[in-house]
Each structure stands twice: as C-alpha cells, then as structure tokens.
Amino acid sequence: MTIAAMVPPLGLRPSPIYRLPPELLIEIFVSCSDEPSDDLTPVALGQVCRYWKDITHLSPRVWRHIYLYEHHPISVSHDQASWWIYRSMPLPFDVRVEVQSMDMILPLLSPVLWHMSRLEKCVIAGIHHEEFDLTKYDFDRTRDTLVDELNLLVKGVGALGLGANGHSDVSDDRLYPSIFRVHGPSDGPPELSMHLAVYALPLASVMRPIPITSLCITEFSLDVTTDVVRMLNFLRCTPLLETLHFAGWPQEGEPILPGFLFHVHLPRLRILLLRSTCSVRAILSHIDAPALEELYLEHTNVDFEIRTEPYVALQHPPEEGESDDEAHDFSQSPWSDHATGMGLRALLRRSRPPLQVLHMDYADMRTKDFRWCFDRLDRLREFRIVGSDMSDRVVGMLAPYRRRWLSFGLANLKEPDDPRGSWAIRLPSLTKLEIWHCQRVSGDTLVQALQERVRFTDFAAEEGRAETVQTVSIVGCSEFQFHHEQMLSETLGDRLRVT
C-alpha cells in the first residue's frame, strides 16, 4: 500500500486504516520504509496527521533503513543520516548509498562512521557495487567507531576520461576493488578499514568530522599536483587522528595564494610520515601536533629550486633561520634542505611535541637547522639518517660541548662531570643512532664524536642522570673504514653495528 492510498480525501470519513491499533500501523510503516524508491518515507508518514507523527517518532524500527543519494544537497543528506540514526536508536540500522562518483562516497558516509557499532549492512550502488555485511564478523561492538583506518588513493583529474567507452566516471576497481576490508590480529577481534580511489581529496565543506585514527593519503601518479590547502582543510575533519602517512611526488605544486593556509590542530597525532613531496615545509609549518612522538621524512631531497612558497616572502619579519646557512656546507639539495629545516623548526616551535623518533631517509637539512633542532629535541630516543650529505659539523654536534662555547676535540677528557657544571650534550635521551650511506662524513669525526659522547653519557647513566647510547649503526659510509670500526669498538663494544 502506498502512502497516497492511506491519506483520506478531504471531506470524507477517515479510512479504516486510521482505526488500526499502533502495532499494526508500525508494521505497515516499517514495510513502507523498506522501499528505497522514497528515502524520506518516515518523514512523509509523520506529516499525514498528529497520530501518525507520534507513531513514527516513537517507533525506532521505522527509521532503520537509510538511503543516501548523490543528487541531494550534501547538507540535506548529512542531516537525514543523523536524524535517522538518532530516531532508530538503540536498534541496528542499514545504509544504502547510490553515487555516480567515487568522490562522494566518503562525504555521504561521514555522519555514519561515528555509529558503525550499530551498522549491520552497507550497500554501495551506482558507479561501484559492493554489499558489506558487518554481522558476519565478530567486531568489538562496545566501541562506537569500528573504522579506524582510511586509505585514500588520489588519482587526479588526469584520470578523468580514461574509463571504458570514454565515460570519465567509470570506476577503476583494479585500484581498490573493495571499499571495506577486514583485518587484524588472529588472537583478537577483527578490525575494519576503508579504501577509496578518488580524483581529489574531499572538500571540507562536504564532510562531517570522521572518527578515524589512521589516515594514509597516496598520490597515484605524476598527474596529481599536491593541493596543500585542500589537504590541511580535510585534516580538520579528522579530530581523532593518531597516524598520518602522506606520499606524493617530488614535483612543485600550484602557488599558494596568501591567506589560504591555516593551521590545523591534531591533538592526538602521534606518528607522521611524509614521503616524496616538495610540500614538506607547507605541511609541517601548518600542523599543530602537541602529542607527536614519531616523525618520518622520506625521499624529500630534490636538486631543483622550490619556488612555490609565497607565504614565506610575506613574513614580516622573516621567520627565524630564514637566512642562508652560515656554515656554507656542501649540499646537493640546498632548496629542499632549507624547506625541510624551516618546516621542522616551525613544527617544533609551535607544538613543542615530545618527539622520540626522527627518521630522515634521503631527507636533509642545513647545518644550522640540525643544530637548532638538536638543541630542542630533549626526548628524542631514536635518530636515523640515510643518504645525507651532512658535514662533519653535524656529527660533531653529538659530542659533549661547553655551554658557553663549543669545545670539539675532547678525546683526552677524563672527567665528564665538570665542577662548574658547564658541560652539556645535545639529544640527551638518545639511545639508538643509525647513520646510513652518508658519504660526506669522515671516519675520524665519527670516531671522535661518538667516543666522546659515549664516555660522557655512560658516566652520567651510571649516576642515573642521563640516558646513554644502546645501539649505533654505521652502514655504507665510504669514509668509515676498518680501522675506524676497530677504534670505535673499543668504546662501544657490541653496541656497534657496521657492514
């Protein structure tokens, strides 16, 4: 029976359906709401009369099926999903999403992700066909949010028009054939993640905040140009984020207009990885991550000038450290070294994070940036650097120094505890050091700096005043030769790892 058949004509006696008890009306209303042809059926039923409105509002079963369509205004779909979820409480519910663009799936589902513990089935129709039944898995339903991980593969507008028969919106299921994936440890409840291949990151204006804790953004090809403004705005929709991985391509993005970059506050972010991008400075300078513990910078060195940083030129006065490096040390990637160093400075200055792990894999900084960061990373426990052309000056910073002046050449120092209290050491919590394929550092400097450091920190650790190095790995450094290994082994013993 349709809704129109239930409504009595004006001036006529009420239809017998109006004399049915509420229990039977509820069954009829539930049957009507099961039809996807009209996604607003419960609302329409409640507008017939006060009696029907009361029945629909007091009957969670009527609201258990949510139908979301791309052609509706996104704000209406968000309100509809939220209202249906609220009215169906505490019963489980189903969701059906019909779209002709993969880019709209996440925005439409964004209000639902907070209530995945009650979701039984999610059906995606249109450009992508998928039916995911959550009742088949033993998820931990005590949690409000089941989807912790989101993987976005950004194809870029260059992928438009590559579908069959010339249709630009044909889904490429070879990239991510399934949106929902179940994984997790064998000895615990399964975990749920989402994987989407999209043309661009969703605009913040079409999103509701989502409860994910892990986000991976991967730019699929060179056709994708990193849109830092759009990415930072999207990160505003992830207030619970703990892990962020971003992998792009080492190419310049579009110029950023003044006033378009805003800081994004990620209070729970603990792990950040940036790989193969020229936007390191723009990202690090505009993320506020006071809980950050691990930072991974990979393959960010480039030998061409990075010029798309107009916000730098507008700083009055310029940021601290903006001037050229006074050390004038050799660098094969001076522009990316400058950008990485200034970005890391901005992150540390604003957030003051308790950073414990810093990995720099073919990512470099200027000598002045290393020193600035080393002076402020008091909690850093693990430092790994690969493929750097850092100089002996940087390695020398690992040795003890006098607070009033640098004192390099302390090989004969026998008493590290100076009575005047003027001795200090950078990275005082460092326990693991790895130096891989750094060809500009001499073996003599490595031996001298590390011997002095270990003697100093071993003495302090015995008195319970500091941490000392537990592991030192020196791999693939051409200037570190066999006799250097022997000399350093006398101090480090089995704590030294070499090839």
The string of pLDDT tens digits covering residues 318-348 is 788 888 888 889 999 999 999 999 999 999 9
The reported pLDDT for the residue numbered 9 is 52
Alpha carbon distance 461, 456 (integer Å): 9
For residue 383, give Cα distances in angstroms to 97, 294, 361, 433: 46, 10, 11, 5
Burial of 165 (0-12, 13-18, 19+ CB in 10 A): exposed
Q: Look up the CATH number of the domain holding residue 423.
A: 3.80.10
pLDDT in tens, 181-227: 998 777 778 889 999 999 999 999 999 999 999 999 999 988 888 88
Q: What tokens appear for 80 in the block?
A: 């509809």
For residue 299, being part of any structural domain is answered with yes
Q: 364, 225, 246, 391: which is closest to 301 by C-alpha?
A: 364
For residue 366, being part of any structural domain is answered with yes
The reported pLDDT for the residue numbered 26 is 76
Contacts 24+ apart (CB under 8 A), 313-322: 314/258, 319/345, 319/346, 320/345, 321/345, 321/368, 321/369, 321/372
209 upstream amide cis, omega within 30 of 0? no
pLDDT in tens, 131-180: 999 999 988 888 767 888 999 999 987 666 554 444 444 455 566 788 99
Q: 359, 310, 294, 368: which is closest to 338 by C-alpha?
A: 368
For residue 118, being part of any structural domain is answered with no
For residue 45, give Cα distances in angstroms to 6, 38, 52, 63: 9, 11, 6, 11
The reported pLDDT for the residue numbered 463 is 79
Alpha carbon distance 307, 44 (integer Å): 57
Which residue's structure tokens are 């960010």? Answer: 300
* Residue 244 Cα to chain centre, angstroms: 2
- Structural domain including 347 reads 144-498
Q: Which residue has the higher pLDDT, 18 or 84?
A: 84
Alpha carbon distance 370, 466 (integer Å): 21
CB-based contacts of 406, cutoff 8 Å, min separation 6: none
353 upstream amide cis, omega within 30 of 0? no
Summarize the confidence of residues 249-268 as an average pLDDT.
83
Going 433 to 436 to 438 to 439, the CA torsion angle's sign is positive
Facing residues of 471 across strands?
A: 432
Taking the model in full, what pTM does it have?
Answer: 0.87
For residue 47, being part of any structural domain is answered with no
pLDDT in tens, 85-142: 998 899 999 999 999 999 999 999 999 999 999 999 999 999 899 999 999 998 888 8
Q: How many domains is the chain partitioned into structurally?
A: 1
Beta-carbon count within 10 A of 490 CB: 10
Radius of gyration of the chain (CA): 30
For residue 389, being part of any structural domain is answered with yes
Summarize the confidence of residues 389-409 as an average pLDDT.
79
Q: What tokens appear for 499 in the block?
A: 């090839």
